[in-house]
Amino acid sequence: MGSAFESIARGLNEAISHAQGADVAVKVYRPRTVDVSALRQEMGMTQEQFAARFGFSVSTLRHWERGDRSPNGASLVLLNVIQHAPEAVTAALG
């Protein structure tokens, strides 16, 4: 357990230092923005179909498409994967 604990502790300390603005060797992943409406239309799906297939609520999808809100966090990551490998998402969701 010693080496696992040390690895976790080191990672947490690096994350704290990074959050505080210190220059640490971390790779920050910033997902690209996705034009949700264009993606859905390219896939030939209605809003209801797209939302049901990938687990979004229809109201959230509508907000994204209107520009009232922007996807972020895990939703933005998922949309990037859908954009580049929709079959992988479909297979993973069963």
Domain residue limits at 49: 36-93
- The reported pLDDT for the residue numbered 7 is 86
pLDDT of residue 49: 97
- Shared domain for 46 and 64, answered yes or no, is yes
Looking at the fold, whether 42 and 86 belong to one and the same domain comes out as: yes
What is the total count of domains within the chain? 2
Query: Are residues 14 and 46 part of one domain?
Result: no
Neighbouring residues of 50: CB distance < 8 A, sequence distance ≥ 6: 40, 43, 56, 61
Neighbours of 12 (CB within 10 A): 10
55 and 86 together in one domain: yes
**1 inside domain:** yes
In a domain, residue 62? The reply is yes
Residue 81 pLDDT > 70: yes
Report if residue 31 sits inside a domain.
no
The more confident residue out of 58 and 14 is: 58
